[in-house]
Structure 1
Amino acid sequence: MPKIVVPEERRAAISDAVIRVVRRAGVEGATLRTVADEAGLAIGSVRHYFGSHEDVLIFTMRELGLRIGRRIGTHVDRLLGTDPDIDRRAAVEDLFAEFLPLDPIRWDEAVVWLAFTTAARTRPSLRDTAVEQHAFMRGLITRVLQEATARGALPDRLDLEVECLRLSALLDGLTLQAVLHPENTTPDLLLAALRRSLTALQS
């Protein structure tokens, strides 16, 4: 009996192959040939599910963003819920820590995402998706800061636009440092820097 191929599952498998190739060889190394080989498929099979090479990359960028977004969504639901016993300070820290490469999975995601966003600077086909994901991150940070202010956890005098930029720049910078210099940018150090910044917000 012939194997039934579910298109969504095949696209996801191809996307996973793209992530592995980009992690090793960057976006330029993720050709249709290398992606097909990584996925154990013929190039024709990859083309069957994607109209072009750029479509494969854009799909993978969005899938990566959704993967991270699902994890973050769990923390957002917990933070903005009605549980009176929640440690909101710890919940905020846990939420923003999802953006940092604190374990092998998140480190791989950070490597691949930085490769994509760097490539988007000179590849217009990737730019819109990179901008969308950046806007999502900034919007999420703003939402969390607004909620914290409304609940009295942050001073009313804070300029939320400035603080959102400062916090997003911190997360971007820590991620870049960890990817480029993992030997001396440890998860403990990343968390300490994040914790220090969040504490400064409350002073």
Structure 2
Amino acid sequence: MPKVVDHTERRRELAEAVWRVIARDGVAEISIRTVAAESGWSSGALRHYFATRDELLAFASELVIARATERIRRLDPPGSLREQVGAVLAQTMPLDAERHIESSIMFAFLALGLGDPALARVQRLHFSGMYDLCLHLARQLVPGGPEAVARRLHAVVDGLSVHVLAGHLSPEAAAAELDAYLDELAG
């Protein structure tokens, strides 16, 4: 009987290999060859799933978005509305090892998207999804004027995330800054 291959799972395994290479060596080191070596596959087998490096990177980034979205959907945080908003936003920030890798990948796409329209699409998907989340949360937290609040909230979360990724803030300090900002918004 022929072996049944789960193509979705194979693509996910390859995306996770991309994440490991980015976490270890940086996004500049991503190639079909380096991901094939990391995954234990041949370059030819990998090309069966992704014809180009950009396809592979785009899928890896889209999978990060999907994972974070699913993690937020499953979240049922206790506490006040303000605490719940903080718990949701914390899922998008590099506050632990898994989310650090995810944030590294997403912010790498900011630079990659500047020179590549296909990767810019993924970068826009990430930013529009994050803005939509901030808008939804702002509407719950601050009645009136939520678009301006959502833009600022998005900027604060992204700014704190960049500071953690750059080593200027610890994850704990970034979480404390987010809490202080949310306390100000909630009044």
After TM superposition, the score normalised by the length of structure 2 is 0.92
- Mean CA deviation greater in 104-113 or 130-139: 104-113
CA distance in 1, matches of 2:91, 2:146: 21
Equivalent of 1:98 in 91, 102, 110: 91
What one-letter code is carried by the residue in structure 2 that aligns with 1:30?
A: I
**Matching of residue 192 in structure 1 with residue 176 in structure 2:** yes
Q: Deviations over 1:14-61 (max 9, x none)?
A: 110111112223332110000100000001101111232221111111
| 1:126-141 correspondence to structure 2 within 5 Å | 126-141=119-134
Q: Which runs of 5+ in 2 are unaligned?
A: none
**Matching of residue 175 in structure 1 with residue 175 in structure 2:** no
| 1:62-77 correspondence to structure 2 within 5 Å | 62-75=62-75
Q: Deviations over 1:113-141 (max 9, x none)?
A: 21122211122220011101110110111
Q: Deviations over 1:62-97 (max 9, x none)?
A: 01110111111223xx47xxxxx8532221110011
Aligned in 2, Cα 1:113/1:48: closer, same or farther, shift over 3 Å?
A: same
Judge conservation of contact 1:22–1:115 (CA < 8 Å) in 2: no
Q: Deviations over 1:150-188 (max 9, x none)?
A: xxxx3x4x421111111111111111110111xx52222
What one-letter code is carried by the residue in structure 1 that aligns with 2:153?
A: L
Equivalent of 1:163 in 136, 144, 149: 149
What one-letter code is carried by the residue in structure 1 that aligns with 2:115?
A: T
Q: CA deviation at 1:3?
A: 4.5
CA distance in 2, matches of 1:170, 1:59: 27
CA distance in 2, matches of 1:8, 1:109: 20
Bigger radius of gyration: 1
Equivalent of 2:113 in 110, 120, 124: 120
Q: Which runs of 5+ in 1 are unaligned?
A: 80-84, 149-153
What one-letter code is carried by the residue in structure 2 that aligns with 1:52?
A: T
- CA-atom RMSD, angstroms? 1.8
Aligned length: 187
| 1:54-93 correspondence to structure 2 within 5 Å | 54-75=54-75, 78=76, 87-93=80-86
After TM superposition, the score normalised by the length of structure 1 is 0.85
